[in-house]
Homo-oligomer: A and B are copies of this chain.
């Protein structure tokens, strides 16, 4: 089971103007093969399908608890995209063509189908697919996959970072480089526990420190790269500390586990867009709605 908290993992810069084509490339980090939808669903299904949950509890706890964090990552990338669409159109009569700029943007679904918000698809508009999930049931192979997947995801984040100067995109990527970094180490440590082979010595892949990215350095300095949360308040998943222990191979810092989840920040408001008919509730209808909502039945 999952509970939900109405908070976002970080405070996203909310600027006056976005950048629609930046939004379209950030989609790769959401619905691409190495996007957050993939990390989320890979770990979710692996946790459902795990054989030997009791006997191999630390491994199960790891995959299961990271799943919960990945939901927050999906939420974060989605919110970033939403902010990046700000200011592409204008309000006005349909015959003024208030969405005229959208015609030349890269992702037209965002304008025609989604009212300038995020999609479960990638930077070329292709949908995320369930066959991006790898769940072989073999512990070592699944961990090896996850280690590879996280390194691939890191590579994509680094490249998208280099494609846009927009502060909202960069803040999100900076943060996720650091948190994704913990997952790379976590799966590397799990692989070491399972096989005795220390693959952390390959890191970082690609060979560039998170600190080379301004927006990641801040979070590294705050020590965000050393902690794993259990994402649970009643004692589940605590055995991740059997794996998440010792030193951070990059910084040499001590790794530690925190029960529960971070406190979180306010989720940005998305303004009404009359030219997209979203949410499409005028003042009059709002009155009627408010009355119905307030009514006792």
Contact = CB atoms under 8 A, between A and B. Distances in A.
A103 B164 contact: yes
Interface string A106-130: 1111011111111111011111111
A17 to B, nearest CB: 15
Given A1-B7, A4-B231, A121-B130, 4 more contacts: A94-B161, A112-B160, A117-B137, A194-B285
B68 A276 contact: no
Given A111-B163, A148-B148, A152-B136, A282 B99 contact: no
Given A71-B2, A117-B49, A207 B140 contact: yes
A273 interface: yes
Contacts of A21: 103-104
B49 A270 contact: yes
A233 interface: yes
A278 B51 contact: yes
Contacts of A22: 103
Number of copies: 6
B133 A120 contact: yes
Interface size grouping (class) on chain A: 35 or more
Contacts of A212: 93-94
Contact of A1 (B49, B71, B116, B296): B71
Contacts of A16: none
A288 interface: yes
A186 B275 CA distance: 27
A108 B75 contact: no
Given A277-B206, A294-B242, A51 B115 contact: yes
A113 to B, nearest CB: 7
19 contacts: A1-B7, A1-B71, A2-B2, A45-B120, A49-B117, A53-B267, A99-B163, A103-B164, A104-B106, A109-B123, A112-B160, A112-B163, A128-B130, A136-B152, A138-B276, A138-B277, A193-B293, A194-B285, A206-B280
Interface string A132-143: 111111111100
Contacts of A34: 113
Contacts of A75: 1, 48
- Most B C-beta atoms less than 10 A away, residue of A3, A22, A282: A3
Nearest to A131: B127
A37 interface: yes
A5 interface: yes
A201 B194 contact: no
A100 interface: yes
A189 to B, nearest CB: 9
Nearest to A142: B279
B120 A41 contact: yes
A135 B158 contact: no
Contact of A78 (B45, B292, B293): B45
A273 B119 CA distance: 31
